Amino acid sequence: MQGEGVYAGTPSVFLRTYYCNLTCAWCDTKYTWLDQSNAQAGIHYQKMNVREVLEKLTDYGCRHLVVTGGEPLLHQHILSSLFSGLKRLDFFIEVETNGTVVPSVEMVGLVDCFNVSPKISNSLVQKTVRIRRTAVKAFVRSGKAWFKFVICEPNDIVEVEELISAYNLPRERVLLMPEGTDAETVSARGRWLVEICKQRSFRFAPRLHILLFGNRRGT
Ligand code: SF4
């Protein structure tokens, strides 16, 4: 089940890609960064070709795909060929991205929804690395993007508003999500964040998988 974003609650099949070009302080999938000296194929990740991935995804019988990472668009050339096959099978394709990689024309055509999560300073990543103007503009132009911000404290909203103004982000497509990898933190932050969402007309984004299962892989 999709736990985040505008399709939270939707029965989904997940494809997680490895590698990321950012190093967010609170990243809950650090294992995707892959320290090559420790990561072992078949144990920490599976090496599969496009045909094998397509067959595996089809087997689940669910037609709502969420592609997540790491940063999936680092592999967009390979993903395009996978997505072409999946669209022929009527899949709805949602891609989660940190918004730093310009999506190709082909990718924009194939993907139904981009869940773009631009990082703010609470990620502790340098601004020039986490905010890429050309990429953010391309997602806005695609008309298929929702912008989800991870919020740690009320003052984070100032930065979100600055980004909305700087990049002309469609306000009605902005979601605010409380940071946290346990139900208590997500709920506590969610309680004041939901008030901010009401005041400023943003969507509130839950972290359903954390609320239901905690920080466990495979949920
Ligand atoms: S962009 Fe996502 S996967 Fe990459 S470090 Fe940040 S939170 Fe982790």
pLDDT per residue over 35-69, tens digit each? 656 667 777 778 899 999 999 999 999 999 999 99
Mean predicted confidence (pLDDT) in 190-214: 89
Which residue ranges have their beta carbon within 6 Å of ligand 1? 20, 22-24, 27, 29, 32, 69-71, 98
Pocket test for ligand 1, best of 98, 123, 147, 215 (most atoms within 8 A of CB): 98
Pocket test for ligand 1, best of 29, 30, 132 (most atoms within 8 A of CB): 29
pTM: 0.92
What is the rounded distance in angstroms from the CA atom of residue 211 to the CA atom of residue 57? 26
Nearest CA to ligand 1 atom 6: 24
Q: Is 196 helix (H, G, I), strand (E, B) or coil?
A: helix
Mean pLDDT of the chain: 92
Ligand 1 atom with least separation from CA of 20: 4
- The pLDDT of residue 218 is 64
What is the rounded distance in angstroms from the CA atom of residue 56 to the CA atom of residue 196? 41
Go through the domains of the chain in sequence order and give each one's CATH number: 13-213 (3.20.20.70)
The CB-side HSE value for 138 (13 A sphere, CA atoms) comes to: 19
Mean predicted confidence (pLDDT) in 23-40: 81
Nearest one of 108, 103, 161 to 135, comparing CA atoms? 103
Nearest one of 139, 94, 90, 125 to 4, comparing CA atoms? 94
**Longest Cα separation, the chain:** 48
